[in-house]
Amino acid sequence: MAPASRRRTVPASTPLWAQDLVRDGHQRFFEQVYLDFVAKLDAIDDGTGGTLLDSSLVAWTQESGIYTHDAIDWGVVLAGGAAGNIATGSFCDYRNTAVSGNQYGQAYPGPYPMYPNDTTPEYSWFGLMLPQYYGTLLQAMGLSPEDYEETSYGGYGPMHVDPDYAQHSAGVLAAAHEMLPFL
């Protein structure tokens, strides 16, 4: 497996060794915990001709996108089949690369308020919403949207529609109750 990306999410003044330490820790966790767990599920016969992994859905992601604690521009790995309700094994990029911005909702080339000496531009690309991803996982495991939706926007969990997330179109917000395409 190739090393994780060296995409920066910390100020340029942070030593490269510290960035490598965090990246390598994430890589080790993915390989030694997540993949190990998935392999163990795949080795257990479920009694129906499949494995426990076939009826499970195991998600791996970081808590952050390109910015710390920001639910934009996430990478997600799914394993399992959710009892045939979801297809894993594909790369799906749900970002809209025509709409860039950042955690402040706009193209923001820096310096960032928290790192005034760092003028390195970093952008996120707004696409489908995180609550739609969560709703997709819940639907894949057999729940209907009526079982978990809390707002009129759909999906699972709070929907951020404040100015920080103004880059999401009305169509993206309206589709939040649907399963993600291609899965």
What's the rounded Cα separation, in Å, for the pair 81 and 58?
9
**Cis peptide leading into 116, omega within 30 of 0?**
no
Q: How do residues 119-144 score in pLDDT, each as one tens digit?
A: 665 666 778 888 889 899 999 999 99
Q: For the chain, which residues make up each domain, given as ranges?
A: 91-177
What's the rounded Cα separation, in Å, for the pair 89 and 78?
8
Tokens of 143: 């729940």
Rounded-to-5 percentages of helix, strand, coil across the chain: 35, 15, 55
**Range of 2-11, 27-36, 119-128, 155-164 with top mean pLDDT:** 27-36
65 in Cβ contact with 133 (< 8 Å)? no
What's the rounded Cα separation, in Å, for the pair 34 and 38?
6
Q: How do residues 28-68 score in pLDDT, each as one tens digit?
A: 989 999 999 999 999 999 999 999 999 999 999 876 555 56
What's the rounded Cα separation, in Å, for the pair 112 and 116?
6
Give the Cα-Cα-Cα angle 50, 52, 84 (nearest 5 degrees): 65
**Residue 82: other Cβ atoms inside 10 A:** 21
What's the rounded Cα separation, in Å, for the pair 73 and 33?
23
